[in-house]
Structure 1
Amino acid sequence: MSLTSLEDYIKYKKRNNSHFMLVDGMSTLMTENAKNCESMNFHAFGLRWKFNIRLDLVKDYLSAYLTIADEKCTGSNWGVTCWFNLSVISQIGELDICTASVFSFDSNHVSWGVSSLISQEMLKQKFIVNDKAVFCAEITGVIPLFLNVIINTFSPTMGTAERVKLMKVPRNNSRFTWKITQFSSFSAMGTAERVKPIKVSRNNSRFTWKITQFSSFSGESHSSYEFTCGPRRWYLEMYPKGYLHGKGNSLSLFLHASDFVSKAPVEATSAIYKLRVLNQQKRNHHEINTAHRFTSNTRWGFNKFLELEKLHKASNGFLVNDAIYIGVEFLSMATREYL
């Protein structure tokens, strides 16, 4: 089935109170570190929901979960009994894989689902076509309880659909590197300049920032310039003396998601990436791979990214002539569009 006919199939399939998620790039999802794909928020029976598929909970199986994400469902005095179906949609005319469930959602249980919806082997053999798979969450009934008042009158909601494209970020656009000089004496009034990209490993280009007068730094944190990768802008934030439980013992490092630069839906951006402090002598860099779903103006990183003792040890090569290189490399990213 071609992409156009697949989109048409989704578009015209009966889907009241349903949300379809076409995942384009299943091989990336199944081979990279994240192994988790979450839908946009959608509405059904007057409430807001989302669902996600996971490949990291039960070995060799795909899991699927429905989450209630409505602003009315806050605090502790609420509950929603929900009947729903989670499905893998066949693209070749075979029967869909579908599980029907009924669960009570509350402040302690905002997500319910099935841990073994389909084996990865069956998924690859019968449900992935041209690296694409289609998943669906259908809400068939709800009984909400808010402030001890049962609400049981809802009109059907027109179904929605989205396409999630999981892409590996091209190497020549995947890295951002921040060079900080005079690290031990950096001041809050320090200056910064952009310098030429440095070649740290073959076929990789990177942006580099040089920040002077760093040894007199008196502020708690410092942020890099914004840079663009995928559908949005990003920047790095570093705490040279640590943050929270890393304070006084570690360098803390975070990646921030900023504004969107494309016409993609303003939804969360799922990214797989590595944060790094470069070894300037042996190229034995300190790197941590991670994955996160970035909503509006959020960050993800590590309070204890690199121990200060290791950072300042000259033989480790992280600080050379009072200069440090801090960077991020994107491995893959999910972009979204409405169907």
Structure 2
Amino acid sequence: MTPVPKLELGVLRSYSDSPPSHYSLKVESFSLMTEHSVGGYEAEEFEAGGYKWKLVIYPNGNEKRNAIGYISLYLEMAGEISLQSDWEIYVDFRLFLLDQKKGKYLVLEDAFAKENCFHGEMLRSPGFDNLMPLEEFTDASNGYVVDDTCVFGAEVFVCKERTKRKIERLLRVDHAVMYKQVWKVEQFSKLKAEYYVSKTFNAGDQKWQILLYPKGYGEGNGTHLSIFLSLADWKPTPPVSKIFAVFSLSIVDQKHADHETWTSKHCFTTKSWSWGLQKFISLSNFSEADKGFLVENICILEAEVTVHGFAKVL
């Protein structure tokens, strides 16, 4: 006899022995996701029914939906730019969580909407705001997160089913190593271009550059020095698609053996390939002789980069 699905808070829950046919996301460091995905983690695109989709996961809960302390999970349509402005797509979808203790998949469906409509103003499904309390989800005895590893999945059915499966892995770098790059910028007063880049350097098997706007950029234009850490070629080196890094950018005080330093962390992607400060230091402060930032028309910039994790598509 087929078990009767369980209805709970508008979510229809059942179990399946089979993995999701369209997409799986294996997170081998869930704690990394909770640390770096404050605004939600967007997984890689996958195809089903002739359209592209992606999972959006809020590991700490979707704050905008008052779901802090819960796992929030959504299906979102991707690649909508290539579609007609008047399109509507009705889909039946199921989201999955692997229960590693039972060796089965927990299957999640919207109990009130058999079909969900996607269109230009509704690219994301209503989804599951309060899918499960985070404490319950991370309790190893419940089987969803074991050894910091968990598995999400999705099946999307449009007019007809297509079973092209794509897997994305989110991995933590064990024994992450910090790399330091020093850039000596000479003849600073003669820099006329809008921006300059340092020599390319490697950190965490990725290629990076320091990006300098000598007259400022954005909010700092004309008043501040703007400095960024940037991926070379503006994209991660394949097969990596996302890079989680902690880094610092500094201007050396050459007179007092000191630094003006800013530290941050960021998820670098093709769409978010650089991160830094538009107002790093004011040009007036930078140019003062007794400050030591500009000596004999030379300034020295430093970057320290540690890659703690990455995502790759298999």
Match of 1:69? 78
Question: What TM-score, normalized to structure 2?
Answer: 0.75
Structure 1 219/44 Cα, relative in aligned 2: closer, same or farther at 3 Å? Answer: same
Alignment pair present for 1:105 and 2:81: no
Contact conserved, 2:236 with 2:268, CA < 8 A, in 1? no
Match of 2:191? 217
Match of 2:266? 291
Alignment length (residue pairs): 281
Q: Look up the SS of the partner of 1:268 in the other structure.
A: strand
Alignment pair present for 1:268 and 2:274: no
The equivalent position to 1:85 in structure 2, one of 75, 94, 116, is 94
Q: Any stretches of 5+ residues in structure 1 without a counterpart?
A: 1-11, 143-151, 176-205
Distance (Å, rounded) in 1 between the aligned partners of 2:291 and 2:54: 45
Runs of 4+, deviation exceeding 6 Å = none
Structure 1 169/306 Cα, relative in aligned 2: closer, same or farther at 3 Å? Answer: farther
Alignment pair present for 1:252 and 2:261: no
Q: CA deviation at 1:19?
A: 0.6
Structure 1 93/115 Cα, relative in aligned 2: closer, same or farther at 3 Å? Answer: same
Match of 2:44? 40
Match of 1:181? none
Q: CA deviation at 1:47?
A: 0.9
Q: CA deviation at 1:169?
A: 6.6
Q: Look up the SS of the partner of 2:136 in the other structure.
A: helix
Which piece of structure 1 moves more, 27-36 or 59-68?
27-36
Q: CA deviation at 1:36?
A: 4.4
Match of 1:50? 54
Structure 1 120/222 Cα, relative in aligned 2: closer, same or farther at 3 Å? Answer: same
Question: What TM-score, normalized to structure 1?
Answer: 0.70
Contact conserved, 1:74 with 1:107, CA < 8 A, in 2? no
Q: Deviations over 1:135-167 (max 9, x none)?
A: 11221x33xxxxxxxxx4x34223332322133
Match of 2:279? 304
Distance (Å, rounded) in 1 between the aligned partners of 2:271 and 2:81: 20
Distance (Å, rounded) in 2 between the aligned partners of 1:60 and 1:283: 42
Q: Look up the SS of the partner of 2:190 in the other structure.
A: coil
Distance (Å, rounded) in 2 between the aligned partners of 1:302 and 1:103: 41
Q: Any stretches of 5+ residues in structure 2 without a counterpart?
A: 1-16
Percent of paired sites with the same residue: 25
One-letter amino acid of the counterpart of residue 55, structure 1 = P
Distance (Å, rounded) in 2 between the aligned partners of 1:304 and 1:220: 15
Contact conserved, 2:244 with 2:268, CA < 8 A, in 1? yes
Q: Look up the SS of the partner of 1:86 in the other structure.
A: strand
Alignment pair present for 1:15 and 2:20: yes
Distance (Å, rounded) in 2 between the aligned partners of 1:96 and 1:319: 61
Contact conserved, 1:292 with 1:300, CA < 8 A, in 2? no
Contact conserved, 2:183 with 2:300, CA < 8 A, in 1? no
The equivalent position to 1:119 in structure 2, one of 124, 133, 146, is 133
Contact conserved, 1:87 with 1:137, CA < 8 A, in 2? yes
One-letter amino acid of the counterpart of residue 299, structure 2 = A
One-letter amino acid of the counterpart of residue 186, structure 2 = T
Q: Look up the SS of the partner of 1:43 in the other structure.
A: strand
Q: CA deviation at 1:224?
A: 1.0
One-letter amino acid of the counterpart of residue 47, structure 1 = Y
One-letter amino acid of the counterpart of residue 243, structure 1 = Y
Distance (Å, rounded) in 2 between the aligned partners of 1:239 and 1:129: 46
The equivalent position to 1:158 in structure 2, one of 156, 164, 167, is 164
Q: CA deviation at 1:108?
A: 2.9
